[in-house]
Amino acid sequence: MTGITVLVVVAILAVATGFYLRSRSGTVRTVRNTDSETDALRPLLLDAGVTADTATVLHFSADWCGPCAAVRRVVEQVLNERSEAREVELDIDAHPDLARELGVLSLPTTFVLDIELRRRSRIAGVPTAAALRSALDAL
């Protein structure tokens, strides 16, 4: 009887965790940076092809990541409407140091960077076009 109870509790916790994680997927979160964090990230970002001349939508992906294709489509749609931002897509396997420094734990993960390379927003999962627009509007 105790084994069944433990199994039921574990199943309930797993389902609750799944619902919680799904509810956060695609949500834009504001990022608070310190100058020292921004300074430490700057060389890694520049080496990865991010430039400090315009706002940037930076997203990490991988060949094996199915939802990353959806992020590509959303980013392309939003940036086709705007000329003040550019897209940089990085393969997490090719840029593990930058991914580690940015705390990327899952794919897809997207960041909105201002022209000073400060992280302004972070989106785990596939953002909606409206969510990405609002993150860019906040710049």
**3 part of a folded domain:** no
- Asked if residue 93 belongs to a domain, the reply is yes
Expressed as residue numbers, the domain containing 71 is 28-137
Rounded Cα gap, residues 19 and 37, in angstroms: 32
- Dihedral angle, C-alpha 42, 47, 51, 52, nearest 10 °: 20
Is residue 122 one of the residues assigned to a domain? yes
Selected catalytic residue, list 50, 55, 68, 71 = 68
Whether 84 is covered by a domain: the verdict is yes
Residue 5: CB partners within 8 Å, gap ≥ 6?
none
Does a structural domain hold residue 4?
A: no
In a domain, 1, yes or no: no
Q: How many domains in the chain?
A: 1
What does each of the 139 residues of the chain score in pLDDT, given as a tens digit?
A: 687 887 777 777 777 666 555 555 667 788 888 888 888 999 999 999 999 889 999 999 999 999 999 999 999 999 999 878 999 999 999 999 999 999 999 999 999 999 999 999 999 999 999 999 999 998 8
Catalytic residue among 31, 48, 62, 65: 65
CATH number, domain containing residue 105: 3.40.30.10
pLDDT of 65 reads 95
Q: Catalytic site residue 1?
A: no
Catalytic-residue membership of 2: no
Asked if residue 68 belongs to a domain, the reply is yes
Is residue 92 one of the residues assigned to a domain? yes
Structural contact between residues 137 and 75, judged by C-beta atoms closer than 8 angstroms: no
CA-CA distances (angstroms) from residue 1 to 8, 9, 47? 11, 13, 58
